[in-house]
């Protein structure tokens, strides 16, 4: 297993801002990209955090990621928006898309935002959190325009990406429900993290290039490649297909498997449905019933092997609090890849090392 660094939050923020500045990003963009990636690490989703920077760097250097781009309204039908992400950083485009959707849902009671051509939107839960913080409910169907990596139920060859489904529900008197998962057994980045750490992935998640079960992440990270399985057999597979049809074909006008596999860019399409509970007229009942229901779940006795019953979003909030206080674990291979990426962006490795307190 490779060595781990534990980097205090403030030091990691300084170091990652230096790396992101290498893209030529404006100060706001540096802040948005660094904060979003680090927050993914803080919430425990290292697969969608700073470890993405080497891939973003390759995408940028080959012209597939456009720094300082903004979400552009292509169609404005009031409560229905079609946006073009201009191949900009998803960390910026996602935030702008949700801000537009929130404003429209407040005005019309609900809004649908169809977003295409955004570079990688990262941890989709961040967008559900942004909407929930505004007191609104949201659903997000996302596809991934990158070489397919997940096999259809019953198939051997990959047919689509790890297509996340995400929902956010604000709750009275407590933090929101944030349900946020890849429709694959594991996110692609979790295979990369396991491979970098020299670890196996859990059983039942991936198959080799002949469809045989394996736990070796090399089948996902290197050639010849196998495939990740969809979660929940035919049910998760069905949800993955829905994400491709809604986030890809409908919102982005493009499905993932058409993407040129030689390219390093990762584009996401996302269909977001945003609802203002107050506009439905029964927000008091919604708040009361939702709170009572969630309390009944959380009050249930845990079964052996569990400390407590939680709702979606709680594990990320706990991890965020823990890692904010104790520092963020970053494996040495991933850190080295980030330093290499910084160097190829013209950023001095040593200054990044010093900022992180690792020199």
Q: Which residues bind ligand NAD (CB under 6 A)?
A: 45, 47-48, 120-125, 144, 162, 164, 166, 178-182, 186-187, 190, 268, 310-313, 315-316
Give residue for tokens 């006008």. 253
Task: Please report which helix (H) or strand (E) contains residue 188, including its range.
Answer: helix 188-197
| In the complex, least distance from residue 95 CB atom to ligand NAD, rounded to whole angstroms | 14
Cβ proximity to ligand NAD: between 171 and 347 the closer is 171
Measured CA to CA, the distance from residue 261 to residue 83 in angstroms comes to 25
Radius of gyration of the chain (CA): 20
Cβ proximity to ligand NAD: between 244 and 316 the closer is 316
| In the complex, least distance from residue 212 CB atom to ligand NAD, rounded to whole angstroms | 23
Quote the tokens at residue 349.
Answer: 């490795």
| In the complex, least distance from residue 116 CB atom to ligand NAD, rounded to whole angstroms | 14
Q: Please, which residues have CB within 8 angstroms of residue 155's CB and are 6 or more apart in sequence?
A: 227
Do 123 and 67 meet the contact criterion of CB atoms below 8 Å apart? no
Q: Please, which residues have CB within 8 angstroms of residue 152's CB and are 6 or more apart in sequence?
A: 159, 160, 230, 237, 241
| In the complex, least distance from residue 284 CB atom to ligand NAD, rounded to whole angstroms | 27
Cβ proximity to ligand NAD: between 104 and 119 the closer is 119
| In the complex, least distance from residue 160 CB atom to ligand NAD, rounded to whole angstroms | 11
Cβ proximity to ligand NAD: between 252 and 311 the closer is 311
- What are 273's strand-pairing partners? 112, 139
Q: Is 108 exposed, middle or buried (0-12, 13-18, 19+ CB in 10 A)?
A: middle
Cβ proximity to ligand NAD: between 268 and 339 the closer is 268
């Amino acid at each position: 297993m490779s060595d781990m660094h534990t980097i205090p939050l403030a030091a990691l923020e300084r170091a990652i801002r230096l790396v992101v500045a290498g893209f030529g990003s404006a100060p706001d963009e540096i802040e948005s990209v660094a904060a979003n990636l680090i927050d993914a690490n803080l919430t425990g989703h290292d697969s969608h955090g700073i470890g993405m920077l080497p891939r973003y760097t390759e995408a940028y250097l080959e012209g597939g990621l456009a720094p300082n781009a903004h979400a552009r309204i292509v169609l404005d039908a009031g409560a229905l928006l079609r946006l073009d992400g201009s191949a900009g950083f998803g960390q910026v485009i996602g935030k702008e898309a949700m801000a537009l959707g929130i404003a429209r849902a407040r005005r019309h009671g609900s809004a649908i935002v169809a977003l295409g051509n955004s570079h990688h939107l990262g941890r989709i839960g961040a967008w559900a959190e942004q909407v929930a913080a505004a007191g609104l409910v949201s659903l997000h169907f996302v596809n991934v325009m990158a070489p397919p990596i997940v096999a259809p139920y019953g198939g051997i060859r990959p047919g689509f990406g790890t297509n996340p489904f995400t929902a956010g529900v604000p709750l009275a008197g407590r933090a929101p429900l944030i349900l946020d998962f890849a429709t694959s057994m594991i996110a692609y980045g979790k295979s990369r993290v396991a491979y970098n750490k020299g670890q196996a992935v859990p059983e039942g998640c991936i198959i080799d290039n002949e469809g045989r079960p394996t736990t070796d992440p090399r089948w996902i990270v290197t050639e010849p490649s196998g495939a990740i399985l969809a979660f929940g057999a035919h049910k998760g597979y069905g949800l993955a297909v829905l994400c491709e049809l809604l986030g890809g074909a409908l919102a982005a006008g493009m499905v993932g498997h058409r993407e040129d596999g030689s390219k390093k860019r990762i584009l996401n399409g996302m269909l977001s449905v945003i609802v203002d509970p107050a506009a439905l007229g029964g927000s008091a009942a919604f708040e009361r019933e939702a709170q009572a229901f969630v309390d009944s779940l959380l009050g249930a006795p845990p079964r052996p092997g569990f400390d407590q019953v939680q709702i979606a979003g709680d594990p990320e909030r706990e991890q965020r609090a823990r890692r904010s206080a104790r520092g963020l674990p970053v494996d040495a291979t991933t850190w080295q890849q980030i330093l290499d990426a910084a160097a190829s962006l013209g950023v001095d490795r040593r200054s990044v090392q010093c900022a992180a307190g690792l020199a």
